[in-house]
Amino acid sequence: MDTILVVNCGSSSVKFQVFAIGPDGTLERQVRGQIDGVGTKPRLRATGVDRKLLVERSFDNEMVPDVPAAMAAAGSWLNDELHISPIAIGHRVVHGGPYYERPIRVDAEVLLRLEKYVPLAPLHQPFNLAAIRAIRARFPDLPQIACFDTAFHRGHGELADCYAIPQSLHAEGVRRYGFHGLSYEYIASMLPVVAPAIASRRVIVAHLGSGASMCALQGGRSVDSTMGFTALDGIPMGTRPGQIDPGVVLYLMSEKGMSPAETQALLYHECGLKGLSGISNDMRELQDSSDPRAKFAVEYFAHRIGLNAGMLAAAMQGVDGFVFTAGIGENSPKIRAAIAAKLAWLGVSLDPAANAENRQTISRSDSRIPVYVVPTDEELMIAQHTLSLLANERSAKSREESVS
């Protein structure tokens, strides 16, 4: 059976999933896995159908020192032990810049262009591209499809897309992109199933994880987002500050003498929940802590989400539904309750029992704004995009051959 491999690379981990392609073109997840601890204590772990453990294996650091080596190790295990040889590989690529509004097959020219956006997504882009290069080196003819976190937001109108800066900078690509687009696209595709009453209306989706953002969906399309030019913007995250006065950055460089590299390291690695609490960037640890700084960080997180929800509601001139997704959004009743309390002015009324049980609908029946918990599935979106692009290429080739 033909399969598609989906890859999502970080600085110290390689996450992957394998989808089988059915005769009718449907996708069925076969394998979920990752190699984490890359460069320190590499470990491969993967599960199959029904989450049955397939492998749990550690490697010497010398064997898996970096992301390309981790890709090679994962690929060897899939091929040698599961006999999986995918017909294509779909990659999550965080930043597509102004050029890429949809998934694209990667070639040398595309790779070169995507390199330009490494400074705009330093936590993700270098490692996304490293995986693509590693596979191209070993399997140059294997189709690789880049699926962008920015693509879903590229239909924004000019008012949502622009900064108040000279037009020449906007033309160069300095604009509001938005991120987590694969997650929001999946949620938009699921709303007709889980919440048909609001699927075509005005919905705020909160993707809350280590990286966090919010999106205004209207008619299933992104009309605005909390993130902008980079994934630093918007609501506070595990180690990123969210919205911050640009003057703070100028102050750090001019008055504190910090270099651009030092400033970047601070903003990407030392701020957010970690910076506020001085304890951890992990929301689970902060919720369990009795330290008042941890309590403040949690309250600040909910406060900023409430403020940004008001902004997105204004962008749509109202709101008809609210959706929680991603790690914190899907698994933390306490955080959902704190955020819902900030949204009471919009008409949100949470059902405590439903929220505690992580039900799909967690609002009361008389809540003016229904609230849902919808698990996201970015990997499935990538697999679907990859399969669709391959089908379109085959169709175009058939048309060309019939004409000739």
Report the catalytic residues. 149
Strands 221-225 and 14-21: unpaired
User: Helix 260-269 vs helix 246-254: angle between axes, to the nearest 10 degrees?
Assistant: 130
Cα–Cα dist 376/278, whole Å: 30
* Residues 42 and 35: beta-carbon distance below 8 Å: yes
Pairwise CA distance, residues 102 & 90, whole Å: 13
Residue closest to 208 by CA, chosen among 298, 94, 127: 298
| End-to-end Cα separation, the chain, in angstroms | 32
Phi/psi at 347 (5° precision): 105, 15
The residue among 373, 389, 279 whose CA lies nearest residue 335 is 373
- In sequence order, what are the beta bridge partners of 7? 16, 91
